[in-house]
Amino acid sequence: MIVIRHVGSLNGSIVHPRDVLKLVIVSNSASIIVVHNHLSFYR
């Protein structure tokens, strides 16, 4: 199952760890992949 928890704006995204972990526990997941990205404006 793939779940996109939140898509932020250009300036930020606020996701509380509680929201992510609740989904993991409720779905009885054996593992989790969390992706975090920093955009570079110096190209």
* Buried residues in 4-29 as b, exposed as e (16+ CB within 10 A): eeeeeeeeeeeeeeeeeeeeeeeeee
pLDDT tens digits for range 26-43: 989 888 888 777 767 666
Q: Report the chain's mean pLDDT, rounded to a whole number.
A: 78
The predicted model scores a pTM of 0.49
Q: Is residue 1 included in any domain, yes or no? A: no
Q: Which domain holds residue 29?
A: 12-42
Q: How far is it, in rounded angstroms, from Cα 3 to Cα 12?
A: 19
19 in Cβ contact with 27 (< 8 Å): no
Q: Is residue 19 included in any domain, yes or no? A: yes
Q: Is residue 6 included in any domain, yes or no? A: no
How many domains, in total, are found in the chain?
1
Determine the average pLDDT of the residues in 17-25: 85
Task: Output the pLDDT for position 42.
Answer: 65
Task: Output the pLDDT for position 14.
Answer: 78
Q: Is residue 22 included in any domain, yes or no? A: yes
- Phi, psi of 42, deg, nearest 5: -105, 80
